[in-house]
């Protein structure tokens, strides 16, 4: 009886270890969290001021109220630049959120949530 329980424990441990190894190797790699093309609500809160605007992402460009920002993809999502402003946009739930920088100094937060085009 003791040998059966010992054998079960060894087999179960081996299966769990195999599952952990397979899970980490299958999920390791670059995340597909690129900033997706589409229409978004662009919410920003910087230096005590908050605003909401319609935004679109198309072919690597983020357009907000006629302003065009180039997007760069990162592992977590990406960022958009219009000198001297940079919006870091990481994938969060069904949209993107992150920090807003002016001249490299954090000045606020930004969030993009999907909307109908």
Q: pTM to 2 decimals?
A: 0.70
Q: How many CB atoms lie within 10 A of CB 107?
A: 14
Give dist(CA 78, CA 86) in Å, integer.
11
Q: What is the DSSP string of 5-74?
A: HHHHHHHHHHHHHHHHHHHHHHH-S-------SEEEEEEEEETTEEEEEEEEEETTEEEETTEEEEEEE-
pLDDT at 5: 62
pLDDT in tens, 84-110: 999 999 999 999 999 999 999 999 999
Q: What kind of fold does domain 38-114 have according to CATH?
A: Lipocalin (2.40.128)
Average pLDDT over residues 54-67: 95
How would residue 34 be classed by pLDDT, with cut points 50, 70 and 90? confident
Ordered by start, the domain boundaries in the chain are: 1-30, 38-114
């Amino acid at each position: 009886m003791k040998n059966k329980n010992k054998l079960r424990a060894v087999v179960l441990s081996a299966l769990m270890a195999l599952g952990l190894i397979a899970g980490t190797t299958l999920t390791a790699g670059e995340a597909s969290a690129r900033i997706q093309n589409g229409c978004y609500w662009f919410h920003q809160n910087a230096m005590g001021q908050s605003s909401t605007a319609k935004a679109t992402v198309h072919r690597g460009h983020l357009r907000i109220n006629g302003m065009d920002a180039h997007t760069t993809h990162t592992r977590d999502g990406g960022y958009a630049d219009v000198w001297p402003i940079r919006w870091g946009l990481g994938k969060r739930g069904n949209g993107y959120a992150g920090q807003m920088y002016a001249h490299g100094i954090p000045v606020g937060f930004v969030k993009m949530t999907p909307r109908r085009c």
